Amino acid sequence: MLKVQNLHKQFGGVKAVNHCSFEVEEGSITGLIGPNGAGKTTTFDLISGLMKPTEGHIHIKGEDVTTWPAHKRARAGIGRTFQAIRIFPEMKAIDNIIVAFPKHPDKLRDVFTPTRKKREQLKVKAMKLLKDVGIADKAHLNAGDLSYGQKKLLEIARAVATGADFIMLDEPAAGINLTLLNQIRDYILKLNKEGKTFFIVEHNMQFIMDISDKVVVMDQGKEIAIGKPEEIQNNPRVIEAYLGKKKE
Amino acid sequence: MFEIFTNTNYLLGFFNNVAFLILLGLSLNIIMGYVGYLNLGHVGFWAIGSYTYTILLMQGHDFFVCLFAGAIAAAIAGLILGLPTLKLRSHYIGIASLGFTYIVHSLSLNLTDITRGPLGIPGIPRPTIFGISFQPNHMYFLLSWAVTIVSGIIIYRLLHSPWGKILETIREDQVAAKTLGKNIFLYKIQAFIISAFFAGIAAGIYSSFYQYIGGTNSFFIPQLLLLLTIVMLGGAGSFWGSVVGAVIVWIMYEGVRFLPIEAGLVGPVQQATYASVLVLIMIFRPRGIMGKNVKILQK
């Protein structure tokens, strides 16, 4: 599904991502972990096209998308959420979802053609998505007035609404209680069963080890270990990156 | 003093002003309230529309041709200003577009062969359409409101369409909008062109209403502040906000005439009034009367 080759991103002298390579298999849930500043979010930004890499290549579904702008990659099926939630706060929750549908008739030439029927259908679809994440009763509130957890659910639902089959979640478990965390996990597993591939950055180890088929560990911009969760947990380089090196 | 309210010509003049100010406010609101970009170049579009309309009209062309030509000229200016700047962030667009206003102002004063420079262009006729003269104030009132209402309906339809919703996502969070697959640069350019187009339409009805355009104090900072006050007082991001804003601002503007002050002070006090309102709005109620919270304008 995703193949990252020799990816490199330099800000001045800082190598945020340093010749990093890994793959995400279709249909999998892949975790991306690493200490703060390891380059995880930069990697996400490079994959979704919000930043251009200094070097290296990104392949999605076999196609080299390295030079594609963000919106083109999104249309090719890459969806994502953000570490600092990015919803549309002054728009209704339901409109946050509706605008994300690829069939949303939002071309300028659509303005003076009848789209009422299509819009009604999208409303129904959006309500269903909101119901799936359990915030259907908040559909007509401004998204900015939702609670933190509800905003997170809304953002995930919005990524799903784009029709993406490859969804990147940046810290979905951060700052939410256990009940909500379980709800998010169940939702991810349900979508995964329906065929969506997930790539998840997370600091909550229990959550990520529990949900992932495979984990990529980054440190100082480079992948230092790739493997099944149980392999990763016992990998000395990973332990070192997280806990520091034992003094000899 | 109050007999003025029974003076039909005064009232017609009042509502003629309100008509083109509503349209200028609505068109600026597309950029400021919906796309969420600070655009200080709107007066430049207004000026370009006015000169194009006036010059063509005085050559004897048909009213609707002139009105449309003025709008197209403004729209082209919108494209020219938009293409290089719309990749920038809002603050930088603000500065670049202010430069644009200054350039247009400067050209209007110095291209004396076309604009007559500081003398301005007097004697702009009011049109005759299908043999009906719109010269009298009450007839022109009907024409300017017809143009404003038709334009307003089109703008309303645009802003409340799915296309308009995407403009709002740009205002709310353009990074997120990109990751939803929206080519936001395209939307921004379209919005800029449409906004400038309707500024050009408003410019046409403005020019034939006053029957004079130009002069050293026209199409510059005072007019810019007037438009900003209309949008921000009514509320950026609200269609009806701009309508209400235009009405209230013009009531205040005209209200100054009734203050017991020297005649020579009326102009400066009028300008100080709406400029102060703008400052107060930005401090105490940045949403205006009924607008949205436009992040970029407030950070």
Question: DSSP string covering B52-76, please?
Answer: HHHHHHHTT--HHHHHHHHHHHHHH
Q: What is the pLDDT of residue B296?
A: 59
Which residue intervals of B132-265 are DSSP H helices? 137-159, 162-179, 184-210, 221-234, 239-255
Backbone angles phi, psi at B213, to 5 degrees: -135, 160
Structure tokens at B261: 């002050």
Angle between helices B184-210 and B42-58 (to 10 degrees): 50
Which run of H or of E encompasses A32? strand A29-33
DSSP-assigned letter for residue B238: -
With a cut of 70, say whether residue B298 has pLDDT above it: no
State whether residue A77 is helix, strand or coil: coil
- CB half-sphere exposure, A15, CA atoms < 13 A: 13
Residue of A nearest to B162 (CA): A106
- Averaged pLDDT of chain A: 93
The alpha carbon of residue B275 is apart from the nearest alpha carbon of chain A, in Å, by 27
With a cut of 60, say whether residue A27 has pLDDT above it: yes
- Averaged pLDDT of chain B: 92
**What is the sign of the dihedral through the CA atoms of A141, A147, A150 and A154?**
positive
Tell me the C-alpha distance between B246 and B231, whole Å. Answer: 8
With a cut of 50, say whether residue B299 has pLDDT above it: no
- Asked if B177 and B184 touch (Cβ cutoff 8 Å), the reply is yes
Tell me the C-alpha distance between A219 and A165, whole Å. Answer: 28
The least confident of A144-158, B1-15, B21-35, B95-109 is B1-15
- Which residues in chain B are closer than 8 Å to A158, comparing Cβ atoms? 180
Q: pLDDT tier at A180 (50, 70, 90 boundaries)?
A: very high
DSSP-assigned letter for residue B31: I
Structure tokens at A15: 């190598």
State whether residue A80 is helix, strand or coil: strand
Residue type for A50, please? L
Residue found under tokens 């071309």? A107
Pick from A85, A86, A117, A152 the residue to mutate for testing the B interface (most B CBs within 10 Å).
Answer: A86
Of all residues in chain A, the percent with pLDDT exceeding 90 is 88
Which residue intervals of A100-147 are DSSP H helices? 116-132
- Which residues in chain B are closer than 8 Å to A110, comparing Cβ atoms? 161-163
Tell me the C-alpha distance between A163 and B183, whole Å. Answer: 17
Query: In whole angstroms, what separates CA B212 from the centre of its chain?
Result: 17
Calculate the alpha carbon distances from B181 to A36, A81, A156, B264 in Å: 29, 13, 15, 57
Residue of A nearest to B155 (CA): A111
Q: pLDDT tier at A247 (50, 70, 90 boundaries)?
A: low
Instruction: Look at residues A244, A225, A80 and name the one whose alpha carbon lies nearest to residue B181.
Output: A80
- Asked if A130 and A138 touch (Cβ cutoff 8 Å), the reply is yes
Residue found under tokens 């005072």? B222
Length of chain B: 299
Backbone angles phi, psi at B282, to 5 degrees: -65, -30
Burial grade of B79 (CB within 10 A; 0-12, 13-18, 19 or more):
middle
With a cut of 80, say whether residue A244 has pLDDT above it: no
Q: What is the mean pLDDT of residues B129-140?
A: 91
Q: What is the pLDDT of residues A130-143, one digit of tens each?
A: 999 999 999 999 99
DSSP-assigned letter for residue A142: B
- CB half-sphere exposure, B127, CA atoms < 13 A: 24
Q: What is the pLDDT of residue B294?
A: 81
Tell me which of A64 and B4 has the higher pLDDT: A64
The alpha carbon of residue A49 is apart from the nearest alpha carbon of chain B, in Å, by 8
- Asked if B42 and B224 touch (Cβ cutoff 8 Å), the reply is yes
Q: What is the mean pLDDT of residues A183-201?
A: 96
Tell me the C-alpha distance between B156 and B158, whole Å. Answer: 5
Contact B163 A110 (CB under 8 A): yes
Tell me the C-alpha distance between A64 and B183, whole Å. Answer: 20
Query: What counts of helices (H) and strands (E) characterise chain A?
Result: 9, 10
Pick from B179, B186, B238 the residue to mutate for testing the A interface (most A CBs within 10 Å).
Answer: B179
**CB A177: neighbour CB atoms within 10 A?**
9
Of all residues in chain B, the percent with pLDDT exceeding 90 is 73
Burial grade of B228 (CB within 10 A; 0-12, 13-18, 19 or more):
buried
- CB half-sphere exposure, A9, CA atoms < 13 A: 24
Size of interface A-B (CB pairs under 8 A): 91
With a cut of 60, say whether residue B12 has pLDDT above it: yes
Pick from B180, B292, B294 the residue to mutate for testing the A interface (most A CBs within 10 Å).
Answer: B180
Length of chain A: 248
With a cut of 60, say whether residue B1 has pLDDT above it: no
- Asked if A170 and A80 touch (Cβ cutoff 8 Å), the reply is yes
DSSP-assigned letter for residue A200: E
Q: What is the pTM of this model?
A: 0.91
**CB A2: neighbour CB atoms within 10 A?**
21
- Which residues in chain A are closer than 8 Å to B236, comparing Cβ atoms? none
**CB B275: neighbour CB atoms within 10 A?**
16
The least confident of A52-56, A194-198, A237-241, B89-93 is B89-93
The least confident of A136-140, B6-10, B62-66 is B6-10
Q: pLDDT tier at B297 (50, 70, 90 boundaries)?
A: low
Q: What is the mean pLDDT of residues B81-97?
A: 87
Q: What is the pLDDT of residues B233-272, one digit of tens each?
A: 999 999 999 999 999 999 999 888 888 888 888 888 998 9
For residue A63, what are the β-bridge partners? A60
Considering only CB atoms, B165 lies closest to which of A49, A89, A99, namely A99
Q: What is the mean pLDDT of residues B220-234?
A: 94
**CB B10: neighbour CB atoms within 10 A?**
15
Query: In whole angstroms, what separates CA B234 from the centre of its chain?
Result: 14
